[in-house]
Amino acid sequence: MRPTAFALSLVFALSSLGRPSSTLKGEDSTTSDERPNIVIILVDDMGFSDIGCYGSEIETPNVDRLASEGLRFTQFYNSGRCCPTRASLMTGLHPHQTGIGHMTAPPNQPLGFTGPYQGYLNDNCVTIAQVLKASGYHTLMTGKWHLGANDKSTWPSQRGFDHFYGGLSGAFNYIKPGDGRTMSRDNQSVETDENFYSTDTFTDEACRYISQVTEEDDRPFFLYLAYNAPHWPLQPKFEDFQKYKGKYRDGWEALMQTRLKKQKDLGLFPENVNPAPHVGPKWDSLSKEKQDELDTIQAAYAGCIDSIDQNIGKLTSHLKDCGASDNTLIFFLSDNGACQEGGVLGRYQKGWEKDSPLETVDGIRQGLAWANASNTPFRLYKHFLHEGGASTPMIAYWPKGIASEKRGQFVRQFGYLPDFMATCVELGGASYPANLPPCVGKSLVPVLQGSDSPIHQEPVYWEHEGNAAVRWGDWKLVREYQKPWELYDLSKDRTEMNNLAKSNTPKQQEMVAMWKTWADKTGVAYPERFNMYQFLNQKKKNKQSPNNKKRKESTKN
């Protein structure tokens, strides 16, 4: 164990001395631990409107039930990209403070690659698992880690999780992970068998862990269930794909209209909401063959989400069977908006539906045009900090903790990822180490208890690869890479269609200055537009260049 990690473990050991007592099996004590179990379910690359209770036609009855019996957040923000979101969610800090300002180092790259950030969680932060473990919680994780893979010191078991099963890297195959992206159990890589299907297996392992710890004692548990679906490669089970094949032949414009109408009917948005327009080609301009391919792509995507919902039903049923359902707080959210990677029309592989499930690493991808529809009614997608990239559907479900008269309601106050750490510290009776950068989030407990007061009075900030934003009350300042800053009043213009930067220059300048001050204080790098994979490819080319080879030969001589 590294000295800094040892110091943190000592802090946790001392802090746990004052934790609430729990009743262990066989103890003659009348004191029981009433703290809630906490489950955070994170899905990967799913758009704002992709579940039924947020406007979708995809069948998600289990998630919809969590919303109808819990709370639906209408303005909850992620960090716009897979691993920065995970870093912020897990630590309560801005991702730049944790060492993952952009992305993690991909598999087979050296630990601490020489980009602007180190590419794995540093020792100047702690995870929710570390904090809750010190407070007496069992800590469990299944699914996608994506916070460090190339050295075991960066794996989940070293960051507070008692039990872990899942994938360490960013993207992997649903059927046969392979290609250096194998599954791991605790600190060992493990092989998968012919029954492996990531969405199912991650749920089954989570249920097994829950059974194990609830049989051990009465201490509460923290479960982080991080599905890799519906991230590419899109690999639904064939029966889930077939359910949706043919349902998207009317195209993306029709889908956006249908979803927007449902969102209005649900009360998610007012009747006068001005939706962002579709930015891809007109559906009718495409050939029938191309339309059929695109229908296949979106049906595959929908099938992956349907499978997630089935598994959430399996998880909630298991919690009920274990007697843990009433006092388990479940959060459900996506790590970023829908994913445009794969080109405007996505990626299709001829004959895919005949050979499904596809067993290649690349697979098929949703693409920009369908991602635009998935993010209805917002602009842009994954990577960006406009609403389409950074707004996530977020649901909180807690039978014992949410008053019956509040269930099924919307939460209109805005919140963001660091709020999870603050919430878990409060509910877990935990201590956040005083010698680390303070948690930047605010507890969601008052909102869960019915408060209508703002979660954040202070401004909150984001940055990713040059994309940047500030949310301050109803004002939002946002920038796409190095393009000019834009300014919006989200109380009147949630979809960011009326840029006020020129008509309200003083407010724009004030918020730009605020963002720059925050960025300097937080250690934000200032690339014009940074892409880690391009960066690493360029490094590889530089090593292989003739001039570099000559220099090496000259050094040898």
Question: Per the residue annotation, which of 53, 82, 304, 339 is the catalytic one?
Answer: 82
Q: Residue 146 catalytic?
A: yes
Residue 354 pLDDT grade (very low, low, confident, very high; cuts 50, 70, 90): low
> What pLDDT is stored for residue 8 in this prediction?
47
- The whole-number average pLDDT for the span 282-300 is 97
Please give the tally of structural domains in the chain: 3
Q: Could you tell me if 507 and 447 lie in one domain? A: no
549 pLDDT above the threshold of 70: no
Residue 449 to residues 29, 66, 446, Cα–Cα distance (Å): 30, 16, 5
113 pLDDT above the threshold of 60: no
Q: For residue 72, what are the domain limits?
A: 36-456
Residues 6+ positions from 222 with CB-CB distance below 8 Å: 37, 38, 39, 128, 129, 132, 133, 137, 138, 139, 140, 424, 428
3-state percent helix, strand, coil for the chain, nearest multiple of 5? 35, 15, 50
Q: What is the DSSP letter of 89?
A: H
Q: Contact, 422 vs 92, CB < 8 A?
A: yes
- 536 by DSSP, 3-state: which? helix
Stronger pLDDT, 1 or 120, i.e. the higher one: 120
Q: Could you tell me if 488 and 553 lie in one domain? A: no
Tokens of 340: 């445009």
Measured in whole angstroms, the distance separating CA 11 from the mean position of its chain's CA atoms is 29
Q: Would 300 be classed as within a structural domain? A: yes
d(CA 152, CA 165): 14
Which tens digits make up the pLDDT trace of 53-93?
999 999 999 999 999 999 999 999 999 999 999 999 999 99
Long-range pairs for 208-214: beta carbons < 8 A, 24 or more residues apart: 209/140, 209/142, 209/163, 209/165, 210/140, 210/318, 210/319, 210/322, 210/324, 211/318, 211/322, 212/163, 213/138, 213/140, 213/162, 214/322, 214/323, 214/324
- The whole-number average pLDDT for the span 141-168 is 93
d(CA 72, CA 528): 36
Q: Could you tell me if 364 and 475 lie in one domain? A: no
Q: Cite the DSSP H helix spans in 166-287.
A: 198-216, 238-244, 252-266
> What pLDDT is stored for residue 199 in this prediction?
97
pTM for the whole structure: 0.91
d(CA 470, CA 302): 32
Q: Would 137 be classed as within a structural domain? A: yes
Single-letter amino acid code for the residue at 353: E
275 torsion bin: left (phi>0), alpha (psi -120 to 50), beta (else): beta
Q: Could you tell me if 180 and 321 lie in one domain? A: yes
d(CA 243, CA 240): 5
- The whole-number average pLDDT for the span 500-514 is 98
- The whole-number average pLDDT for the span 156-182 is 87
Q: Residue 231 catalytic?
A: no
114 pLDDT above the threshold of 50: no
Query: Could you say which of 456, 478, 513 is where a domain stops?
Result: 456
Q: Would 179 be classed as within a structural domain? A: yes
Q: Would 345 be classed as within a structural domain? A: yes
Which tens digits make up the pLDDT trace of 446-471?
999 999 999 999 999 999 999 999 99
Question: Per the residue annotation, which of 96, 146, 163, 386 is the catalytic one?
Answer: 146
Which tens digits make up the pLDDT trace of 467-476?
999 999 999 9
Q: Would 475 be classed as within a structural domain? A: yes
Residue 178 pLDDT grade (very low, low, confident, very high; cuts 50, 70, 90): low
Q: Across the chain, what does the average pLDDT equal? A: 89
Residues 6+ positions from 527 with CB-CB distance below 8 Å: 116, 465, 466
Query: Could you say which of 422, 456, 490 is where a domain stops?
Result: 456
